[in-house]
Amino acid sequence: METYIRKMAWLLDNDQSLEKIGLTKLHLQGDHPPWQDFAVPQPGPDHGLLGTHSSQTQDVLREQIKKTQSQKVQTTEEWIRHYSLESLQLTLEHLCSRNSGNSEEMEFTEETVNDFESRLSDVIELYQHRIEWLLQDSRKVFGVIKGTKVGLLVDVSHLSYGPRLLDFQKNLLCLIDEQLCYKEQLYCLSFSTEISPLWESPKTINIHVLHEVRQWIQELEPGRGCNLLKALRHVLPMKELNSLVLIVGSCPDQSFEILCDYAQQCMLGRKVQIHTVTYDCSNPASLAVLKNLAEAVRGRYHCYSSKGENFDSSDFHLLLQESQKAKDLLKSIKQTFQGRVGGLLGSKRAEVCTEFANTAPSSFFLKPPEHKAPLVIQTPGILAKTSADWLKTYGLKAKKLDLYQVLAPNAFSPVEDFVPILKKTVSSTLHEKLMIQFEWHDGTVKNIHVDLPVLYNYQKLLAKMVRIYEKRIDWLSVASRRIWGSVCERRVVVLVDISVTNSTYISHIQHSLRLLLEEQMSNKDFFNIIAFGSEVVPWQQELCPSQPENLEKAWRWVLSLECKGSRNFMSALRRAVEVDFKDKDKQKSQGLYLLTTGIPDQETHTISAYVAEACGGFDLQLHVCLFSVTAGTGSSGIVPARYASPREAASAFREIVQAAKGRFHWFGEAGIFESDDITCIISEMEKAKNYSQKCAFLVESLKQRSVNQSVKPLTPEGDSNVPMRNKIRKPQKVPSPKPTAVLKDVKDNHGGERNTPVRVQAWRPPSAKAGIPPGTIYQKYPKAMCVRKSVCSVILPEEEEICSSKEWLTKYSIKKLKLELPRLMFGPGCIHQKKTVESLHKEVSAKYCSIFPSAEINGVVKHLQFHPKELETYTEQLEKALQRYIQRVQWLLSGSRRLFGTILEANVCVLIDTSGSMGPYLPPVTKELTSLIWEQLRKNKVRFNLLRFADNTESWRESLVEATDESCHDAVQWASTCRAHGNSCILAALQKALSFQGVEALYLLTDGKPGTSCSLILKEIESLIKKQDTKIHTICFSCADRGAVEFLKKLASQTGGRFHCSAGGEDGQLAAHRILTEGLDDEDNPVFPYFEGDDLKKLTQEVAKARSFLKQAKSWRLLLEKWNTNQKDKSGFQKSVQD
């Protein structure tokens, strides 16, 4: 540490800093190069200005320099105003104004064209010099600082003792000496979790202030946390400052929205320039937050990386745009006037023009170190896996860490049985004192014995797995995997988009390919690279082995790529499938990886159909890596055949990837926006979090029960794992039993002897052959009671009730109708069991076991103690209920209920998705919507509104309206105008629908996942629903997209609504018809299709349960009839023998 301090003392020497200010290197006063903002003049003659002391001389010089700089400092925006093509009169309109011909035909002299071209080349050279100048000294690290009264906010959370801290302090010193020392006032503040200002208020700059700043820089120490909001709250209220410089090296603790809102509120009515600097930070979130913050407050941003990988600047983008305009204009002029002025110009100036015209815009960007150096090939230890395959080994279920797997040994189903003497079914109450009731994954309720040590160890294992998942996400987010994802196949073809719109980013594309070749291709069997613009340019005509020399040759070929044309993706895809993968049916593990920045020339459905056919039935997948470029930096040359926003392009490629059974990876300069691999891991992490929360619920429930019942802990204090073995519990008096039917009958039979206990005698068998189980015998027996339940007559409504299946079954389920076969037919005495006779030292069966027939039910042998007539009555009632269930299924599948489900509420809003993916479905939706309006809304007098959404939302009316004939006609006409286009903005649609006054429920009809984050929508809706009691019912066309189905189910469940899916409706109607016509006996044929929707799913499950009971009842009836026949034959035979 002392070594670093000595180095800093030498570095911060005031004399050396003054020497660097410009007393030796900078030129004399006069005109400065136009690409520079300013030039520091050297001192001229004395003129009485020089002092006798060095500090006086420095003060005088500084005042003179400051006066000059205040007039000449310019940002790139101001510089562009003076040197843009428009201000220099170098646009095509200005050239046309120099026309020497008539108005019908334009003519230009060779001298005019040469002059115009030479001026354009000069301007291009000027732009290049400006860029080179921006890449020097402190401008390279921090950019050009604007303003005269500057607040400097420095983040120290990213620092660490050592070379990084030294480099950062050195760069800050250069910033002070080269730019900030020429300002009028300065305010310095460092921040991490807390803020540390240098002064209480801004200081006027002089030699003493600069010395304090240098000392402050020397004393900077690393901190933790990046509380940027706290720093802004301290500085923004200072009215003296007109410029803020934010230097941040890590991700701020606050979100972009919070920082942006606060900054915009504080800057209302003020002219404060905010300049954000990302200093050597590889965190994509930090880059995105600061860049978006600068754009939101109309400031400027600058991103510096010591490795040159993420270099970015708003100044650069402005210069590159203007430079590209000049190059395009120069190229167009040369092509237009080549044949009219006697061929190509032969002067040296023409050569310069050609040289600059052919210069790629990407050459102005900082390239990564050793961009053109030979590859440094790495050999992966193992073959990469997709996250889905990886989770087969490391998922919670694979590791046997599923919560239900852990709880299964201590989970017990609730026990209910019929007590004959009480004449009712009694549920076991043991769980109320010893167990916790817990909902199982299948919807049933289990009694759980909570083992605290087991749950504690389980939660530790869950935390360990979450850390493993976080490490995998980190691994997927760095190096080449940040761009390409994980390349898993053995035979790989890479498709690279080199359309003209990627001219600015060709160095990015080349660097991406370099990383891929170095890190992920050396362990493949074969590979090839195909570049495509308007034309397809393959590296090799067929797949080549992934040998180091081939990888190096491919890299050299990549360096020669030039961007031109549009995006003819279909031709490149067909070339790869039909040439490189011509024998795809004979090979395994084959993959296509597409790197592109925009939507292809061909229609999405055309590409999807082709890839579905090409990949179907073969081990071939297409994976898409979509690179979202920064808006406004693309080429202004050839316009692509199709244009789409980044979200529209992502939606199109999702559809293509789904057809090819591949993976989608969407990234940009700010980081990864979406990745199927990462989404799988996050889903598993959310599952682990859910399991951990359920464990916490079990533990908390156990603690609460212990508190309520005043149960003493079973473990001593200080060690929860050691049982209390030595503690002696005092005997407690057993309370008197509550009056029961048995005691009541005994007391009645004994008359007034209420206090006399029931007299019993011990019973012993007369011989060892006795078969009666031991026990006690009453001297007086209670009155015999019937133990059998009678079958109730079923009464069901003929008219359909408008309610959900859940509500309907609470009144008419099999359990509510008392038609559950096991509970109805069996009591405690029906169980076949042996009891131990102590005197005989063996188990003895009861004599009545041979009187009744036996059957095995759920693994338990029971006696059938009922008559065939009782089973016949039960069968009739159950068939009656079953027919009514199936009639309701038919009703739910008829009319508009098949698509929309049942409208239950009196005030609703129906939301229709009209995005581009809804194109094939809109005609039938419009037809069914008409049916819904008249059949359910008008008939039931429901107040309603309609709302359609794609990129934007559009409502039929501004509020809910009564369902009159006139309004229904108007709604049907409005619905017929729906057209499919754009993306799905589900969140905006839900927010607008929830704003309608008095709305009780929303019915959301869509075909898939939204364009935005599903978790974000669920979170936003959860906060909105807390303010108003509104249900959201979700409706889906198809259940093929499991991600969309799970999202819609969660959305409905979260708001108390229902999920409905129209898939399987026709098959369900056919199955219902066959069941009613062919009979109800066979539970396996015909069967209903599996319904995902809540209403149909619950009802068909009840139908399946009823059919199972019906089949069992009929089989038992046959068994009883056969048993009775055998008993009659046996008794007749015994009678004949006795005779």
pLDDT, residue 857, reads 61
Residue 312 clears pLDDT 90, i.e. is over it: no
Residue 21 clears pLDDT 60, i.e. is over it: no
| Poorest-pLDDT segment among 543-552, 633-642, 676-685, 1038-1047 | 633-642
pLDDT, residue 605, reads 85
Residue 78 clears pLDDT 60, i.e. is over it: yes
pLDDT, residue 26, reads 33
Residue 298 clears pLDDT 90, i.e. is over it: no
pLDDT, residue 1135, reads 55
pLDDT, residue 1080, reads 66
Residue predicted with more confidence, 472 or 356 = 472
DSSP state of 310: S
Strands (E), 171-241: 185-191, 195-197, 203-204
Rounded CA separation 646/1106 (Å): 53
Residue predicted with more confidence, 45 or 1010 = 1010
Rounded CA separation 345/347 (Å): 6
Q: How many CB atoms lie within 10 A of CB 14?
A: 14
Residue predicted with more confidence, 758 or 1100 = 1100
382 confidence band (pLDDT: 50, 70, 90): low
Rounded CA separation 508/368 (Å): 9
Report the percentage of the chain scoring pLDDT > 70.
72
The amino acid that residue 993 corresponds to is A
3-state SS assignment for residue 302? strand
Strand partners, 845: 834
Q: Is the peptide bond before 646 cis (omega within 30 degrees of 0)?
A: no
Average pLDDT on 498-515 reads: 84
1121 confidence band (pLDDT: 50, 70, 90): confident
Radius of gyration for the chain, computed over Cα atoms and rounded to the nearest angstrom: 41
Residue 688 clears pLDDT 50, i.e. is over it: yes
pLDDT in tens, 713-751: 444 444 434 344 344 344 444 344 444 333 343 344 444
- Joined tokens for residue 576: 């790869």
Residue predicted with more confidence, 768 or 840 = 840
Q: What is the DSSP string of 539-587?
A: SSSS-EE--HHHHHHHHHHHHT----S---HHHHHHHIIIIITTTTTT-
Q: What is the DSSP string of 706-737?
A: HHHHTPPPSS-TT-TTS---SPPPPP-PPPPP
pLDDT in tens, 560-612: 888 888 888 888 888 888 888 888 778 888 899 999 988 888 888 888 888 88
- Joined tokens for residue 815: 């359990």
- Joined tokens for residue 682: 């996050």
pLDDT, residue 735, reads 44
Average confidence score pLDDT of the chain: 75
The amino acid that residue 827 corresponds to is G
Rounded CA separation 975/928 (Å): 10
The amino acid that residue 305 corresponds to is S
Residue 972 clears pLDDT 50, i.e. is over it: yes
Report the percentage of the chain scoring pLDDT > 90.
7
Average pLDDT on 744-765 reads: 39
| Poorest-pLDDT segment among 1-5, 319-323, 546-550, 1070-1074 | 1-5
Residue predicted with more confidence, 752 or 950 = 950
Strand partners, 446: 438
Rounded CA separation 895/899 (Å): 8
Residue 394 clears pLDDT 80, i.e. is over it: yes
3-state SS assignment for residue 283? coil
Q: What is the largest CA-CA distance in the chain?
A: 156
Q: How many CB atoms lie within 10 A of CB 63?
A: 11
| Poorest-pLDDT segment among 276-285, 334-343, 491-500 | 334-343
| Poorest-pLDDT segment among 122-131, 420-429, 866-875 | 420-429
- Joined tokens for residue 519: 């890190």
Average pLDDT on 141-162 reads: 82
pLDDT, residue 856, reads 60
Burial 23-45 (b: 16+ CB within 10 A, else e): eeeeeeeeeeeebbbbbbbebee
Residue 410 clears pLDDT 50, i.e. is over it: yes
1084 confidence band (pLDDT: 50, 70, 90): low
pLDDT in tens, 1091-1117: 888 888 888 888 888 888 888 788 777
Strand partners, 1004: 911, 1034
Residue predicted with more confidence, 337 or 1125 = 1125
Residue 46 clears pLDDT 70, i.e. is over it: no
- Joined tokens for residue 971: 């709604």
Strands (E), 776-914: 776-778, 834-837, 842-845, 854-857, 860-863, 907-913
937 confidence band (pLDDT: 50, 70, 90): very high
DSSP state of 848: G
Q: Please tell me which of 865-879, 910-924, 1078-1092 the model is most confident about, judged by mean pLDDT.
A: 910-924
Q: Which residues does 532 contact at the CB level (< 8 Å), separation at least 6?
A: 495, 496, 497, 498, 499, 567, 568, 569, 571, 572
Rounded CA separation 244/152 (Å): 6
Q: Which of 864, 867, 865 is nearest to 856 (CA)?
A: 864
pTM: 0.41
pLDDT in tens, 83-127: 887 778 777 777 777 765 554 556 667 777 777 778 888 888 888
Q: What is the DSSP string of 388-436?
A: HHHHHHHSTTTTT--HHHHHGGGEE---EEEETTTTEEEE--THHHH-E
Asked whether the beta carbons of 914 and 950 are under 8 A apart, the reply is yes
Rounded CA separation 849/818 (Å): 28
